[in-house]
Amino acid sequence: MTKTPPSVPSITLGDKSYPLDRLNPAARAQVQNLRIVEAEIQRLRNQIAIAEVAKAAFVQALRTEVTKAA
């Protein structure tokens, strides 16, 4: 049975991949900043999705009320 070597975490910029364990501390800090920003963007996308569902419900409720009044 052949063992596959463990994959080394890396980051790809353009068409080049850089192993994280070979980055200098400043570059590692930027990778961490990117991870934080990506997580925040995903959180905001989730919030937008929630708001869009609420908006659709409000529009439907408004249509119902307008129809009653007409």
Residue 69 Cα distances to 2, 7, 18, 61, 64, angstroms: 74, 65, 64, 13, 9
Q: Say yes or no to pLDDT of 29 above 80.
A: yes
Task: Record the pTM.
Answer: 0.75
In DSSP terms, which residues pair with 18 in a beta bridge?
A: 11
Q: Say yes or no to pLDDT of 27 above 80.
A: yes
pLDDT computed for residue 13 by the predictor: 95
Residue 20 Cα distances to 17, 25, 58, angstroms: 9, 10, 47
pLDDT computed for residue 2 by the predictor: 64
Q: Say yes or no to pLDDT of 51 above 70.
A: yes
